[in-house]
Amino acid sequence: MRNGPDGFVGASEIAAAIGVSRWSRPIDLWLTKTGRADPEPENPRAKIGLRAEETMLRWYAEDTGQDVATFVRGSSVRHPEHPFAGCTPDFLRIGKDGELLGLAQMKCVGARMAIFWPDDATPADIECQCQYEAEVTGAPFVDVVAWLGGTDFRIITLERDREFGDMLLRGAESFWKCVRDDMPPPIDGSESWRKYLQARYPVVEKEELDPAHDDVDRWAHESLRSRERIEELEADQEAADNRLRALIGERHGFIGADYVVTWSADKNGKRSLRVKRRKNPND
Protein backbone atom coordinates (compact mmCIF):
# COMPACT_ATOMS: atom_id res chain seq x y z
CA MET A 1 0.00 0.00 0.00
CA ARG A 2 1.16 3.51 -0.77
CA ASN A 3 -0.50 6.84 -0.28
CA GLY A 4 -1.31 9.14 -3.14
CA PRO A 5 1.38 11.47 -4.43
CA ASP A 6 0.17 14.42 -2.34
CA GLY A 7 -0.45 12.54 0.91
CA PHE A 8 -3.66 14.36 1.85
CA VAL A 9 -7.28 14.87 0.89
CA GLY A 10 -7.34 17.81 -1.50
CA ALA A 11 -10.13 20.29 -2.11
CA SER A 12 -10.99 18.77 -5.49
CA GLU A 13 -11.26 15.38 -3.76
CA ILE A 14 -13.31 16.24 -0.68
CA ALA A 15 -16.71 15.77 -2.37
CA ALA A 16 -15.72 12.25 -3.43
CA ALA A 17 -14.25 11.52 0.01
CA ILE A 18 -17.55 12.30 1.77
CA GLY A 19 -19.76 10.70 -0.88
CA VAL A 20 -21.45 13.73 -2.49
CA SER A 21 -19.59 13.81 -5.80
CA ARG A 22 -21.58 13.13 -8.94
CA TRP A 23 -18.49 11.74 -10.65
CA SER A 24 -16.56 9.68 -8.11
CA ARG A 25 -17.31 7.60 -5.02
CA PRO A 26 -15.24 7.22 -1.82
CA ILE A 27 -14.10 3.77 -2.95
CA ASP A 28 -12.77 5.25 -6.22
CA LEU A 29 -10.70 7.82 -4.36
CA TRP A 30 -9.51 5.22 -1.84
CA LEU A 31 -8.32 2.92 -4.63
CA THR A 32 -6.28 5.78 -6.08
CA LYS A 33 -4.90 6.99 -2.76
CA THR A 34 -3.77 3.51 -1.77
CA GLY A 35 -2.12 2.85 -5.12
CA ARG A 36 -4.61 0.21 -6.22
CA ALA A 37 -5.74 2.30 -9.18
CA ASP A 38 -4.01 4.86 -11.32
CA PRO A 39 -5.20 8.48 -11.16
CA GLU A 40 -7.63 9.48 -13.85
CA PRO A 41 -5.79 10.69 -16.97
CA GLU A 42 -5.83 14.43 -17.44
CA ASN A 43 -8.86 15.59 -19.35
CA PRO A 44 -7.86 17.64 -22.41
CA ARG A 45 -10.63 20.08 -21.53
CA ALA A 46 -8.88 20.78 -18.22
CA LYS A 47 -5.97 22.29 -20.16
CA ILE A 48 -8.39 24.70 -21.83
CA GLY A 49 -9.65 25.69 -18.39
CA LEU A 50 -6.12 26.42 -17.22
CA ARG A 51 -5.42 28.54 -20.30
CA ALA A 52 -8.65 30.48 -19.68
CA GLU A 53 -7.89 31.29 -16.04
CA GLU A 54 -5.84 34.43 -16.68
CA THR A 55 -8.57 35.82 -18.94
CA MET A 56 -11.23 34.98 -16.38
CA LEU A 57 -9.15 36.65 -13.65
CA ARG A 58 -9.00 39.88 -15.67
CA TRP A 59 -12.76 39.83 -16.24
CA TYR A 60 -13.34 39.10 -12.57
CA ALA A 61 -11.12 42.00 -11.48
CA GLU A 62 -12.80 44.37 -13.94
CA ASP A 63 -16.33 43.37 -12.90
CA THR A 64 -15.57 43.71 -9.18
CA GLY A 65 -13.37 46.82 -9.39
CA GLN A 66 -10.31 45.10 -7.95
CA ASP A 67 -6.68 45.43 -8.93
CA VAL A 68 -5.60 42.27 -10.73
CA ALA A 69 -2.12 42.77 -9.25
CA THR A 70 -3.49 41.91 -5.79
CA PHE A 71 -4.06 38.31 -6.90
CA VAL A 72 -1.35 35.65 -6.79
CA ARG A 73 -1.53 32.05 -7.91
CA GLY A 74 -2.04 29.58 -5.12
CA SER A 75 0.35 26.83 -4.14
CA SER A 76 -0.22 23.59 -2.26
CA VAL A 77 -0.87 24.17 1.44
CA ARG A 78 -1.91 22.03 4.42
CA HIS A 79 -4.26 22.83 7.25
CA PRO A 80 -2.15 24.12 10.15
CA GLU A 81 -3.61 21.61 12.60
CA HIS A 82 -4.80 18.78 10.35
CA PRO A 83 -2.12 17.64 7.89
CA PHE A 84 -4.52 15.20 6.20
CA ALA A 85 -6.33 18.24 4.73
CA GLY A 86 -4.80 20.33 1.97
CA CYS A 87 -5.62 22.38 -1.10
CA THR A 88 -4.18 24.36 -3.97
CA PRO A 89 -6.34 27.47 -4.49
CA ASP A 90 -6.44 28.96 -7.97
CA PHE A 91 -5.80 32.54 -6.81
CA LEU A 92 -5.32 34.30 -3.48
CA ARG A 93 -6.19 37.96 -2.99
CA ILE A 94 -3.53 39.55 -0.81
CA GLY A 95 -3.90 42.84 1.06
CA LYS A 96 -1.30 45.59 1.41
CA ASP A 97 -0.01 44.12 4.66
CA GLY A 98 0.19 40.62 3.21
CA GLU A 99 -3.01 39.37 4.82
CA LEU A 100 -5.21 36.90 2.98
CA LEU A 101 -8.37 38.74 1.94
CA GLY A 102 -10.04 35.92 0.04
CA LEU A 103 -9.75 33.25 -2.64
CA ALA A 104 -10.86 33.07 -6.26
CA GLN A 105 -11.78 29.69 -7.73
CA MET A 106 -11.94 29.59 -11.54
CA LYS A 107 -14.38 27.24 -13.26
CA CYS A 108 -14.44 27.05 -17.06
CA VAL A 109 -17.45 24.81 -17.70
CA GLY A 110 -18.46 23.33 -21.03
CA ALA A 111 -22.00 23.44 -22.35
CA ARG A 112 -22.72 19.80 -21.45
CA MET A 113 -21.68 20.32 -17.82
CA ALA A 114 -23.31 23.75 -17.46
CA ILE A 115 -26.70 22.08 -16.99
CA PHE A 116 -25.58 20.95 -13.53
CA TRP A 117 -25.14 24.54 -12.34
CA PRO A 118 -28.15 26.13 -10.59
CA ASP A 119 -29.12 29.64 -11.65
CA ASP A 120 -27.91 31.39 -8.50
CA ALA A 121 -25.67 28.89 -6.72
CA THR A 122 -22.90 26.36 -7.24
CA PRO A 123 -23.18 22.56 -7.54
CA ALA A 124 -22.72 20.69 -4.27
CA ASP A 125 -19.25 19.39 -5.13
CA ILE A 126 -18.01 22.90 -5.98
CA GLU A 127 -19.42 24.30 -2.73
CA CYS A 128 -17.64 21.54 -0.81
CA GLN A 129 -14.39 22.31 -2.62
CA CYS A 130 -14.58 26.02 -1.87
CA GLN A 131 -15.64 25.71 1.77
CA TYR A 132 -12.83 23.19 2.26
CA GLU A 133 -10.32 25.64 0.77
CA ALA A 134 -11.61 28.36 3.09
CA GLU A 135 -11.23 26.03 6.07
CA VAL A 136 -7.71 24.95 5.13
CA THR A 137 -6.43 28.46 4.38
CA GLY A 138 -8.55 30.49 6.80
CA ALA A 139 -9.85 32.69 3.96
CA PRO A 140 -13.04 34.59 4.89
CA PHE A 141 -14.67 33.91 1.50
CA VAL A 142 -14.21 32.25 -1.87
CA ASP A 143 -15.41 33.89 -5.06
CA VAL A 144 -16.38 31.25 -7.61
CA VAL A 145 -15.65 32.73 -11.03
CA ALA A 146 -17.57 30.57 -13.49
CA TRP A 147 -17.59 30.74 -17.28
CA LEU A 148 -20.40 28.45 -18.38
CA GLY A 149 -20.92 27.23 -21.90
CA GLY A 150 -18.81 30.01 -23.39
CA THR A 151 -21.45 32.74 -22.92
CA ASP A 152 -22.51 32.81 -19.25
CA PHE A 153 -20.02 34.54 -16.91
CA ARG A 154 -20.85 34.49 -13.20
CA ILE A 155 -19.27 35.51 -9.91
CA ILE A 156 -20.71 33.69 -6.90
CA THR A 157 -19.44 34.61 -3.43
CA LEU A 158 -19.33 31.87 -0.81
CA GLU A 159 -18.73 33.20 2.67
CA ARG A 160 -16.76 30.88 4.91
CA ASP A 161 -19.10 28.62 6.86
CA ARG A 162 -17.22 27.38 9.94
CA GLU A 163 -19.77 24.67 10.75
CA PHE A 164 -19.74 23.38 7.19
CA GLY A 165 -15.94 23.52 7.10
CA ASP A 166 -15.67 21.56 10.34
CA MET A 167 -17.99 18.90 8.92
CA LEU A 168 -15.79 18.64 5.83
CA LEU A 169 -12.67 18.28 7.98
CA ARG A 170 -14.30 15.47 9.95
CA GLY A 171 -15.22 13.77 6.71
CA ALA A 172 -11.68 14.13 5.38
CA GLU A 173 -10.26 12.75 8.61
CA SER A 174 -12.57 9.74 8.50
CA PHE A 175 -11.64 9.04 4.89
CA TRP A 176 -7.92 9.53 5.52
CA LYS A 177 -8.08 7.03 8.37
CA CYS A 178 -9.26 4.48 5.78
CA VAL A 179 -6.23 5.32 3.63
CA ARG A 180 -3.83 5.25 6.58
CA ASP A 181 -5.17 1.94 7.90
CA ASP A 182 -5.50 0.44 4.41
CA MET A 183 -9.17 -0.31 5.04
CA PRO A 184 -11.85 0.45 2.42
CA PRO A 185 -14.44 3.15 3.20
CA PRO A 186 -17.96 2.00 4.15
CA ILE A 187 -19.75 -0.08 1.54
CA ASP A 188 -22.41 1.73 -0.46
CA GLY A 189 -24.70 0.81 -3.34
CA SER A 190 -22.49 2.23 -6.09
CA GLU A 191 -21.35 0.50 -9.25
CA SER A 192 -17.79 1.27 -8.12
CA TRP A 193 -18.18 -0.93 -5.05
CA ARG A 194 -19.68 -3.75 -7.13
CA LYS A 195 -16.70 -3.64 -9.49
CA TYR A 196 -14.24 -3.54 -6.58
CA LEU A 197 -15.80 -6.62 -4.96
CA GLN A 198 -15.96 -8.42 -8.29
CA ALA A 199 -12.26 -7.76 -8.87
CA ARG A 200 -11.32 -8.74 -5.31
CA TYR A 201 -13.28 -12.01 -5.32
CA PRO A 202 -13.28 -13.15 -8.97
CA VAL A 203 -13.70 -16.90 -8.31
CA VAL A 204 -15.56 -19.22 -5.94
CA GLU A 205 -13.13 -21.37 -3.98
CA LYS A 206 -15.72 -23.86 -2.71
CA GLU A 207 -19.21 -24.84 -3.75
CA GLU A 208 -20.82 -25.80 -0.43
CA LEU A 209 -22.87 -23.29 1.56
CA ASP A 210 -21.68 -22.04 4.95
CA PRO A 211 -24.07 -21.47 7.87
CA ALA A 212 -25.19 -17.84 8.04
CA HIS A 213 -24.08 -15.60 10.91
CA ASP A 214 -25.62 -12.41 12.29
CA ASP A 215 -24.16 -10.01 9.70
CA VAL A 216 -25.31 -12.22 6.84
CA ASP A 217 -28.79 -12.43 8.40
CA ARG A 218 -28.96 -8.65 8.73
CA TRP A 219 -28.06 -7.82 5.13
CA ALA A 220 -29.87 -10.79 3.56
CA HIS A 221 -33.10 -9.72 5.25
CA GLU A 222 -32.48 -6.08 4.26
CA SER A 223 -31.98 -7.19 0.65
CA LEU A 224 -35.15 -9.32 0.75
CA ARG A 225 -37.21 -6.46 2.22
CA SER A 226 -35.88 -4.06 -0.44
CA ARG A 227 -36.74 -6.49 -3.23
CA GLU A 228 -40.24 -6.95 -1.81
CA ARG A 229 -40.74 -3.16 -1.59
CA ILE A 230 -39.59 -2.79 -5.19
CA GLU A 231 -42.08 -5.43 -6.32
CA GLU A 232 -44.88 -3.68 -4.40
CA LEU A 233 -43.94 -0.29 -5.86
CA GLU A 234 -43.79 -1.71 -9.38
CA ALA A 235 -47.25 -3.20 -8.91
CA ASP A 236 -48.56 0.15 -7.58
CA GLN A 237 -47.03 1.95 -10.56
CA GLU A 238 -48.58 -0.44 -13.06
CA ALA A 239 -51.98 0.00 -11.44
CA ALA A 240 -51.62 3.80 -11.49
CA ASP A 241 -50.49 3.69 -15.13
CA ASN A 242 -53.52 1.64 -16.14
CA ARG A 243 -55.80 4.08 -14.32
CA LEU A 244 -54.21 6.89 -16.36
CA ARG A 245 -54.64 4.97 -19.62
CA ALA A 246 -58.33 4.54 -18.83
CA LEU A 247 -58.72 8.25 -18.01
CA ILE A 248 -56.87 9.37 -21.15
CA GLY A 249 -58.81 7.02 -23.43
CA GLU A 250 -58.78 8.52 -26.94
CA ARG A 251 -57.16 11.77 -25.79
CA HIS A 252 -53.48 12.61 -26.11
CA GLY A 253 -52.98 13.24 -22.38
CA PHE A 254 -53.28 15.76 -19.56
CA ILE A 255 -51.19 18.55 -18.06
CA GLY A 256 -51.20 19.21 -14.33
CA ALA A 257 -49.63 21.84 -12.09
CA ASP A 258 -46.42 19.84 -11.71
CA TYR A 259 -46.68 17.02 -14.26
CA VAL A 260 -47.48 16.05 -17.86
CA VAL A 261 -48.99 12.68 -18.73
CA THR A 262 -49.32 11.48 -22.33
CA TRP A 263 -50.35 8.25 -24.05
CA SER A 264 -49.13 8.76 -27.58
CA ALA A 265 -48.60 6.45 -30.53
CA ASP A 266 -45.39 5.79 -32.44
CA LYS A 267 -45.20 5.39 -36.24
CA ASN A 268 -46.42 1.80 -35.89
CA GLY A 269 -49.45 2.85 -33.92
CA LYS A 270 -48.22 1.44 -30.59
CA ARG A 271 -49.13 3.76 -27.72
CA SER A 272 -46.65 4.48 -24.91
CA LEU A 273 -47.54 6.09 -21.59
CA ARG A 274 -45.22 8.81 -20.32
CA VAL A 275 -45.56 10.56 -16.97
CA LYS A 276 -43.11 13.42 -16.52
CA ARG A 277 -42.74 15.92 -13.70
CA ARG A 278 -42.68 19.57 -14.81
CA LYS A 279 -39.66 21.54 -13.61
CA ASN A 280 -41.36 24.87 -14.29
CA PRO A 281 -44.78 26.05 -15.59
CA ASN A 282 -43.35 26.69 -19.06
CA ASP A 283 -42.43 23.03 -19.67
Please write the tens of the pLDDT for every residue from 109-135: 998 899 999 988 999 999 999 999 999
Q: Which H or E element spans position 108?
A: strand 100-109
* Domains present along the chain, CATH in parentheses: 14-191 (3.90.320.10), 234-278 (no CATH)
Tens of pLDDT, residue by residue over 147-188, are 999 999 999 999 999 999 999 999 999 999 999 999 999 999
pLDDT over threshold 90, residue 139: yes
* Rounded to 5°, angle at Cα 152 from 146 and 158: 35
- The pTM (predicted TM-score) of the whole model is 0.82
Indicate the burial class of 20 (C-beta count within 10 angstroms; 0-12, 13-18, 19 or more).
Answer: middle
Closest CA to 105 of 127, 80, 120: 127
Whether residue 66 contacts residue 93, with contact meaning beta carbons closer than 8 Å, is answered with yes
C-alpha of 158 from chain center: 18
